[in-house]
Amino acid sequence: MGLGVAEKNKMAERAAREITEGMVVNLGIGIPSLVPNHFKGRKNIIFHAENGILGIGKSPAEGKEDENLCNAGGFPVTLETGGSYCDSSVAFSIIRRGLLDLTILGALEVSEKGDLANWIIPGKKVPGMGGATELAMKTKKVIVVMAQCDKYGKSKIVEECTLPLTAKGCVDLIITDMGVFEVTNTGLRLTEIFTPYDLEDIKRSTEANFDRAAALRFI
């Protein structure tokens, strides 16, 4: 069973709390694209898309989409006042120069070492990795937002990734529908658990080893 709208928005809202004023942020497709809908009182945040946008705004209202304005995943977006367009070579130069403060990506697997696999399932016909490798390796901070388990109930937080890697040791924070894990030098640390789950639910649904924070929070 897939995630519901409320769960997706809860994860996006939690990811939005990692963004501070003045940041330049790239958003992946799916749940990360909901992040601009969850800001209260914060200004001077610029959202970047690798197809050539600086200044992405909230998702457009249904029926108000502009077919010529979309993010890198092809989904409709709006443009903030003062936003701008560029070609993809300039957009990728921004990434490769290390000018992005944060990227928020989806994933198929994340290892306990922070390795990321988010672009292909062997034997399946799916799109290529796009800008994920550059984003994962060159952005100052990488957050993954994903379901705790896949559609078969298998943990997506694993000891070692079995799918082709996007990048090694790049993930700083994992936000799932169950909680939040920090990736540290010594492994994963569970810092938050989301209602209605408890620690035993997390243990059953996580293949990787993890420690719990001394000040573990229940949200």
**How many domains does one find in the chain?**
1
User: Domain containing 158 — which CATH number?
Assistant: 3.40.1080.10
pLDDT score for 74 = 79
Q: Could you tell me what percent of the chain has a pLDDT over 70?
A: 94
**Contact by Cβ (8 Å): 155, 111:** no
Q: pLDDT-based confidence at 143, cuts 50/70/90? A: very high
Is the pLDDT assigned to residue 176 strictly greater than 90? yes
> Rounded distance, CA 149 to CA 75, Å?
25
CA 197 and chain centroid, separation: 21
pLDDT score for 149 = 96
The per-residue pLDDT for range 191-206, each reduced to its tens digit, is: 999 999 999 999 999 9
The per-residue pLDDT for range 25-84, each reduced to its tens digit, is: 998 888 988 888 887 766 789 999 888 889 888 888 888 888 888 877 778 888 888 889
> Rounded distance, CA 140 to CA 43, Å?
20
165 or 67, higher pLDDT: 165
180 or 123, higher pLDDT: 180
pTM for the model stands at: 0.90
**Contact by Cβ (8 Å): 50, 91:** yes
pLDDT score for 67 = 82
Is the pLDDT assigned to residue 131 strictly greater than 80? no
The per-residue pLDDT for range 6-32, each reduced to its tens digit, is: 999 999 999 999 999 999 999 888 898
> Rounded distance, CA 164 to CA 201, Å?
28
- Residues designated catalytic: 50
Owning domain of residue 30:
5-218
Average pLDDT over residues 73-96: 89
pLDDT score for 78 = 87
